[in-house]
Amino acid sequence: MDEPTVTVHHLDKHDAARFRALRLEAFRTQPRAFRYSEHDEARPDPALGAQRLEHDYAMGAFDGPNLIGIGGLATQQGTGCSTGPSYGACM
């Protein structure tokens, strides 16, 4: 049996549909891993996912053409971050 070949690369707008599908699956199976609910993620226009990938830094793990894992850093703006935009958490 052939071992899977996993590659990792930076995700961009061309990966948006696979990125969104994997995130929605993860919301259903691991909801506590996210600060948003599945409902919040499913609402936005799918085009926003492409914009997110162009703005934030996301990596994807691929087994052949299949996206099997994601990770990255996202900027956040909000009242909880008194120091301005942050990556992942306010310090």
Beta bridge partners of 39: none
Instruction: Please say if the pLDDT value at position 91 is more than 50.
Output: no
Instruction: Please say if the pLDDT value at position 87 is more than 70.
Output: no
CA distance 73 to 66: 21
- Give the model's pLDDT for residue 1: 64
Whole-model pTM over 0.85: no
Mean residue pLDDT of the chain comes to 77
